[in-house]
Structure 1
Amino acid sequence: MFFGGGEEKPKGKTVVLLDVGSGSVAAALVQLLPEHQPKIFGALRKSLPLAHSVSAPALARAVASAAREALNHTSAVAARIRGHDKLSHVGEVARADIFLSPPWTTLEDNWQHEEALTAPLAVAVEEYFGEIPASLHPFGRALASVSNSIFPEEKTLIAVVNGEVTELLLVHNGNIVGRATTPLGHHLLLRTLRAHGGFTEAEARSALLVQPSHIEESLSSTAAHFTREFRDVARDLLADPSAGGPARSVYVVAHEPAGEWFAKALGGEALQDLFPEGGMVRALRAHHLTPYVGAHARPDLFLMLQTIFVDLPAGRQVAAS
């Protein structure tokens, strides 16, 4: 029985992603396939310990340690695949793409990265994957690059909620036209539950995953506090004449399911104040990205966005720099 011309399918290439935030670190392998969805596999995300107070040096040490754990897992997956006769090419890692969120990256005239952290990250990548090319990317810039594919509006305000920092990006046609940060992230919820709800850190993390009704009262004042901070920062961004006109939508990018909590917190009085003529706020969910990425059973929103970025033609990646 004849099924085709016997030509070998294009094999593509495999890259390793390293997602570096202020609340967790993740590593994953991505198979980039010509004319097919990229595929994520071998992923591991490590949460950073919840400190009573935030110290940049201590946070950097925790990030470096978590990065090594994640890279160790991912490199082991690649090594196992290289031992498979028919799939050995999938385990050959061509390059590393490292994505940095605040406070590890800043935007003044140009993007700047925290060298005290990026240097040990580069050493770790080489230790686990050998001498492969490695590139640093601000996560905000990468998100702006893929925004035209994901968000239907030409201009939108994106709130990227990480562990200790929330980054606000005003994006117009794939370009960042305004940016600000606020030192509040989803660790604010964990600290509130630990301090006022009687939860341990592990119990607080579990409670946020299922979001039972009994934690709503404990978090009500936290929601109001986050909303006030967000509104003040966003108002300045939207009022900047260089931003080029109004935006009437807010998208929250946060590790699920916390994104829904933050979207709900921002969906009331704060939104009316920012968008008196009407607007919307919603959380970006992993299932919104499934048309673009093939992911494992527990999809990771940040890794999926980064995968879409590395799968872009190089010219489109540079456009938002």
Structure 2
Amino acid sequence: MKPFFFQRSKVKGKLAVIFDIGSASVGAALVGFAPDTLPKIFYTTRREIPFLKKIEAERLTASMLKTLELVAHDIQKDGFSHARFTLFGSIKPALVSYFLASPWHVSQVRDIYRQEEESFRVDRDLVRELVSHEMDDFKKLHGGSGTVSFSERDGETKQDNLHEKHTIIEGDILDIKLNRYHVADPLGKTARELDMTLFVSSAPQTLIRSIGDVGDREFSGTESRLSSFTFSFFNTVRDIWHDKENFLLIDISGEVTDLSIIKEGRILETASFPVGRNTILRNLSSKHISFNEAESLLNLYYQNKIGTDEAAYIKSALQSAQDMWLQLFAKELQELASQILFPNDIFLVVDAPLDAWFKEVITSDKLYDLSTTGEPFDVILLDTKTLAPYCQSVRWVDKDPFLIVESLFLNKTLFVI
């Protein structure tokens, strides 16, 4: 008979590996999911993608895939031991889930509209036909073809990233209106007007296959899924702050800033511009200061452990970076919100140590003109403190906000709590 500390009750949960694939780093988490409880994170790891002074698509992709290999090996080598003496210690991962941030995917909100003189019946076949047609149009826009799973890798041909064929990874109906009224369950009802809002995202086929190859080497035979961080970010915020209907999502990664305007609880528009954390660190670096040294100096600057001259240099560089980011941010907002009132609530997720700095920038008086109230935006930073009540973790785990957001989103697809 086994000692009591090796005995386990019947496992009703699922173990999953989550990968967060960004433009500057790749993170991963080993997460346990069970009915009627919060997800529990047993292990996290994150590695920086080697810094490139000049962004080139092929080099960035190769560097990201190499970093993904290292992170996947970290999970396989060190991650599972952290769940060994828990209810999840005796089970294998049921799922490997990859979340793609910009620039690894493209997304768009598309409107589907049908009007007839006579009332027509809305059924599953009609909805499927309209959605399929819209997704075909989206695939044509990005040179895409049919959906390709991770297992369909035969006959792969190398293509230029700019002309790469895309595969749909998400096609989710955000809203349905019948005769201009929101309807939760339209099937079986009749109407003369049908209006659907569809969120679609896609990624290059060869990139999907390369990511799948990495996963297969470490987690052979495990089910794999792909999602965009944009959609998981939206879902998580909407579920936690369900009293908020109109807001802006800002995701600032290493090389890109992504924006999503939410109106009446639904994604209205998305946009992005190529400025992120690494852009600012490039401004800090110079002939005499490397990228890594600039990052170290920035950390020391926020800890007030830096000399007067160096502090003045960093302050000046940050002011220049602020002006550049604000100019592009304001431009995108004006284009996105040209026909609607701009929401005053902003949810922000960004890599440390620039998270607090970006929050200060967004609430600065330079953006008052864009606020509907003429006052500072109300910015909620999705850091570990804000997200802690919604996710469990073992004490020594590094609590990564991006991985927490993705864990909460994935929890919806496995168990409804």
TM-score, length basis structure 1: 0.87
Matches within 5 A, 1:9-20: 10-20=11-21
For the Cα contact (< 8 Å) 2:32–2:88, is it kept in 1? no
How big is the shift at 1:85?
9.5
For the Cα contact (< 8 Å) 2:31–2:39, is it kept in 1? yes
Partner Cα separation in structure 2 for residue 122 and residue 201 of structure 1: 31
**Of Structure 1 and Structure 2, which has the larger fraction of its residues in helix?**
1
Matches within 5 A, 1:76-91: 76-78=77-79, 80=81, 88-90=89-91
Q: Percent of aligned pairs with the same residue?
A: 24
How big is the shift at 1:267?
1.5
How big is the shift at 1:9?
6.1
Matching residue of 2:35: 34
Partner Cα separation in structure 1 for residue 73 and residue 284 of structure 2: 32
Structure 2 residue corresponding to 1:248, chosen from 344, 364, 385: 344
Matching residue of 1:229: 328
Structure 1 residue corresponding to 2:260, chosen from 169, 194, 198: 169
Structure possessing the higher radius of gyration over alpha carbons: 2
TM-score, length basis structure 2: 0.68
Matching residue of 1:107: 107
Matching residue of 1:23: 24
Matching residue of 1:319: none
Residues 258-279 of structure 1 show CA distances to partners (whole Å, capped at 9, x for unaligned) of 2211111121134202114233
For the Cα contact (< 8 Å) 1:42–1:73, is it kept in 2? no
**Of Structure 1 and Structure 2, which has the larger fraction of its residues in strand?**
2
| CA gap 1:83/1:156 in 2 versus in 1, 3 angstroms | closer
How big is the shift at 1:172?
3.4
For the Cα contact (< 8 Å) 2:343–2:372, is it kept in 1? no
| CA gap 1:54/1:269 in 2 versus in 1, 3 angstroms | same
Matching residue of 1:154: 245
Partner Cα separation in structure 1 for residue 355 and residue 44 of structure 2: 21
How big is the shift at 1:122?
0.6
Matching residue of 2:405: 305
Matching residue of 2:134: none
For the Cα contact (< 8 Å) 1:81–1:87, is it kept in 2? no
How big is the shift at 1:298?
2.1
Structure 1: gaps (5+ residues): 1-5, 317-321
Matching residue of 1:48: 49
Q: What is the Cα-based RMSD across aligned positions, in Å?
A: 2.5
How big is the shift at 1:280?
2.2
Structure 2 residue corresponding to 1:259, chosen from 328, 352, 355: 355
Query: Which amino acid is the alignment partner of residue 231 of structure 1?
Result: A
Tell me if 1:290 matches 2:391.
no
Partner Cα separation in structure 2 for residue 298 and residue 112 of structure 1: 30
Structure 2: gaps (5+ residues): 1-6, 109-137, 139-199, 305-310
| CA gap 1:297/1:133 in 2 versus in 1, 3 angstroms | closer
How big is the shift at 1:65?
0.4
Partner Cα separation in structure 2 for residue 172 and residue 76 of structure 1: 44
How big is the shift at 1:96?
0.8
Matching residue of 1:72: 73
How big is the shift at 1:315?
9.7
Matching residue of 2:282: 191
Partner Cα separation in structure 2 for residue 167 and residue 85 of structure 1: 38
Residues 109-145 of structure 1 show CA distances to partners (whole Å, capped at 9, x for unaligned) of 4211122322111111111011111111010011111
| CA gap 1:83/1:304 in 2 versus in 1, 3 angstroms | closer
Matching residue of 1:200: 290
